[in-house]
Structure 1
C-alpha cells in the first residue's frame, strides 16, 4: 500500500487545513511602509503569551460560516468522527476541538491509549442547507497513517524518548523556558505523537508495512512492536523530532546562550531515539490564529543542519 507521506516541520498544520498562514509582513504594494506597518500591527494583535494559549482564536480560511453550523451540530460531528476512526483506522479517539473551514469542519482528535498521537479529520458542510455531511468524513491522504506510525515509533523507543523528556523537563526547571500548554496541543496540533515540548513525524515507505500490521492487530503490545521494529535496521533519516521551546517571560528575546547550550547538549547526548532533530527557541508569544510562532527572532537549528542520531 502506497500513500502520500505528510511531514510537518513546524508547529501545527494550518497549511494542510487551509489555515491562516499568510505571515509575509513585507507587503510591497504601492502603499509601501504604511501597508507594512498596518500588517505588522494586525499580526501583533494576534500574539498571545504561550502560557495563556489553549487554542482560542485558531482560525482556518473560509470558516466564518461553517463554524456556527459546526457548533450547532457538534454532537453529530463527534459521533461521526469517532465512527470514522474506529472503522477506517481501528482506533478509538477523543474529539478535542472543531474548527470551521471552507465548506467543512476540521476536527482535532487524540487517540485513546497506545499508539498515542494527535491528528484530524474533515467533515464536509453544505453551507446553503446548513447541514453537516456526516456520511462523507475524510482525512488527508497519509496524514493519519503517518500519525499512527509516529505513535508506534514512540512505543518502540519509549526509553530513548524518556531520556529526551527528562532532559527537556530539567531544562525547563533550570532555565527560563517553557513548552506549550497541553490544552493547546490537544486543540490545534495534529502532527502525530506530540508532547508539550516536541513532536515526531515519519517519512519512510517501509513504514507502510507497519501501518498495515497495525490495522490487522491494533492491540499489539509495546513488546511485540519492539521485537518487530527496534532490532531491525532503522533509517534515522526517516524520523523527525522537532523541539519547540519558548521564553518564560513576556517581552523577552530568545536567549542565544540557552539555545546554544541546548543544541550542544543535544549534539553530545547519547542514547536518544534515531532521527533528525530540530531545535527552535521562540520568544514568549504564539500567533493564536495560526497556533504557531513564525517570528524572525526565533533561533533555530533545523534543515539542512539537523542534529542526527542513529
Structure 2
C-alpha cells in the first residue's frame, strides 16, 4: 500500500471515531460475550469523561515519541493552521496513531471550532516531520464552515443553546464535558449538546468561507451579505444533538426523547438545517468518545428533523 492511500484510509478511520459511528454488531456468536465484557470496561459516566483513555489503532509507540517531542509537535501544528487557514489555534491534546501524532486543537478568535491535524513521525529515527503536517481532505474546511454558520446566524443558535441549557437545567439529561470536547472532540463547532456538520457542495456558505479565508477580519455584516440564502438546502447543514441521561443507571427515556424531538420541530426561530437527535444512557466509551449504543433512542439518516 503506498503512503498516500494509507493516509486516506487512516483519515477515514479517524473520521468514523470522531463522528461517533460505531458498529455494535461486530462480534460473532462465539465471541460476543467476551467482546461485550471488553466493551463494558471502556464505559465511563459522561459527566466524568474528559478524554482519558482515548486511543487510535497501533498508536502506543508514537504516543511516547510525540510526548517526548511535544514542543516541536505543537509548533508544527500551529504553523500549519496559520499558513494554510490564517487561524491561530490552541493545542489541547496529542494522541499517537500508527505513523505519527493526531493533534486536537481549538481555534482562537471570533470563529470557534475544534479540529485536528496529523503530524507524521519517522518510527526509526523519531524525527518529527513538521514539514509534512496535514489534515484529512476537506476536514478543516468543514469545521470552518460550521463555525461561520454559527457566527452569521448568532440569534438562531443562541435560541437553540438556550433551549438545550433550559432542558438540562431540569435535571433529567446532560451533555458532554467541555474538557472532553477540547481533548478529543475535533468535529468542528461543538457545544456539550451538539455539533455542526457541513458538506463540500453547500453553495450557500461557500462565498462566506472564501471571504473569511481571504480576510479573517472581514466585518460580520460583509460575511452575512456574502451568504446566498436562495442556495441553502437543509441537507447541507447537519445539527447533531447528543444528549445523555443524568442518572448513571438510567436507560434512555422515550418520553424525554419524544418531547425534545417535538420541541425541535415546533419552536420558532431555531437554525435552519437537518437535525439528528440521539438520547443515550449515561455512559460513553472512553477509547472512542462514543455514546451511541444499542439502547440509544435516535432520529438520524433518513429520518432527520428538517427545519426549512
The match for 2:15 is: 16
Q: May I ask how many residue pairs the two structures share in their alignment?
A: 294
Q: 1:203 to 1:17 in 2, by over 3 A?
A: closer
- Alpha-carbon deviations, 1:17-76, whole Å to 9, x = none? 778977445522xxx44x211100000000000000000000001201100000001111
RMSD of aligned Cα (Å): 1.9
1:119-134 correspondence to structure 2 within 5 Å: 119-134=115-130
List per-residue Cα deviations over 1:166-220 (Å, max 9, x = no partner): 0000000114100000000011111111111001111142244333222210111
* Aligned residue in 1 for 2:246: 248
Normalising by structure 1, we get a TM-score of 0.90
User: So what's the TM-score if we normalise by structure 2?
Assistant: 0.91
CA distance in 2, matches of 1:213, 1:302: 32
Instruction: Find 2:221's aligned residue among 194, 199, 223.
Output: 223
Spell out the pairing of 1:46-85 with structure 2 (5 A cutoff): 46-85=42-81
| Alpha-carbon distance change, 135 to 26 in structure 1, aligned in 2, over 3 angstroms | closer
Equivalent position SS for 1:122: strand
Runs of 5+ consecutive residues of structure 1 not aligned to the other structure: 1-12
How is 1:1-310 mapped onto 2 (pairs within 5 angstroms)? Answer: 15-16=14-15, 23-28=23-28, 32-33=29-30, 35-205=31-201, 206=203, 207-229=205-227, 232-310=230-308
Q: Note closer, same or farther for the CA distance 1:135–1:284 as it changes in structure 2 (3 Å cut).
A: same
**Secondary structure, aligned partner of 1:116:** coil
**Partners of 2:269 and 2:228 in 1: how far apart?**
13
Runs of 4+ in 1 over 6 A off after TM superposition: 17-22
8 Å CA contact 1:15, 1:21 repeated in 2: no
Alpha-carbon distance between aligned partners in 2 of 1:227 and 1:52, rounded to the nearest angstrom: 42
Alpha carbons of 1:111 and 1:175: their partners in 2 closer, same or farther (altered >3 Å)?
A: same
Provide structure 2 residue ranges, at least 5 long, that are not aligned to the other structure. 1-11
